[in-house]
Structure formats: C-alpha cells, structure tokens
Amino acid sequence: MRLIAVGDSAPDFVVKDNNEKDIRLSDYRGKKVLLSWHPLAWTPVCAKQMKALEVNFEKFKEANTIPLGFSVDSSPCKKAWSSELNITNVSLPADFWPHGKVAQDYGLFLDKDGFSQRANVLIDENGKVTWVKVYPLEELPDINEVLNILGNPQALK
C-alpha cells in the first residue's frame, strides 16, 4: 500500500458523513479539498484536530477549500461526536464500510490497528494531490501550517 504522493490524482470516493449526506470528492471540483484524517472519534487529540477545522472554517472558505474530517468511525458515531464537539460546519465523513477503503486507497490505513494514520492531504481544484503530511498518532496537526500553505501556494514548492 503506497502512500498517496504529490502529483497523484486523488482517488474519488462516496461515503456518508456525520449527517448521513453522501460526500463525493468529485463533487468538489473547482474547489480545493483538505482531507484531514484522524484515527478515531472520541479521543482527545482527534477532538482537537476536528475542532481546529471548525474554528477555522471561514478561513478555509476564503481559501476556496472544503475541509473534511475523515476517520473509519461509523456515520452515527460521527454524528454523536460532532454534536458533542459542536461541529456544525465541517463535514465528518465516515470511512466505515468497506472498512477503511478510502484510507486504503490513499495509503493511510494501518492494517494492524484497523484505523487510519493521522494525516492531512490537500487536493487542488482539478483533483490532484498538492500536499501530504503524516503525523505521529499522538501529535496534533498544526492548523496554521495548513492555512499557510493554502494562503501561499509557493510554500508547496
């Protein structure tokens, strides 16, 4: 399983989110998409990671970017969790069934654990991967790093 790389075409997917809405990557053509992967809902670092997306939702919107908070948890689990965290703007897609299929397609699934790595994958308006960063499971991704890259595409070079 190869980690998705800059320049790759991002594999399309259709999954349900925390509101039982179909989320299809190809529906976002013309916008950038941030796939922000967290291992499991209901854990402290994952909660902070998803709250950072919500708090910065308007900044993502200004950067023509759709943030998506991905994990292998089920849609009902993500619905309860998003309610608990008061996440109302950011969609939290459920890569639940087939279990971890999207994470596998992106090379982020940890077979021995049954969940994804913690990672951020940025996809451009044409569906090409422009940035990938995998984090230690216990590390909170720096949301400002992501926002800086969105605000300064030269940072990708």
Q: Which CATH fold topology does 14-152 show? A: Glutaredoxin (3.40.30)
pLDDT value, residue 1? 75
Bridge-based pairing of strands 115-116 and 109-110 is antiparallel
Q: Per-residue pLDDT for 110 more than 70?
A: yes
**Average pLDDT of 52-64?**
97
Q: Per-residue pLDDT for 155 more than 70?
A: no
pTM: predicted TM-score of the whole model, two decimal places: 0.95
Question: What residues does 37 pair with on adjacent strands?
Answer: 70, 119
Mean pLDDT of the chain: 96
Return contacts of 19-27, CB within 8 angstroms, 24+ apart.
19/79, 19/91, 20/75, 20/79, 21/91, 23/68, 23/91, 23/93, 25/123, 25/127, 26/127
Q: What is the pLDDT of residues 113-151, one digit of tens each?
A: 999 999 999 999 999 999 999 999 999 999 999 999 998
Q: What is the pLDDT of residues 2-45, one digit of tens each?
A: 999 999 999 999 999 999 999 999 999 999 999 999 999 999 99
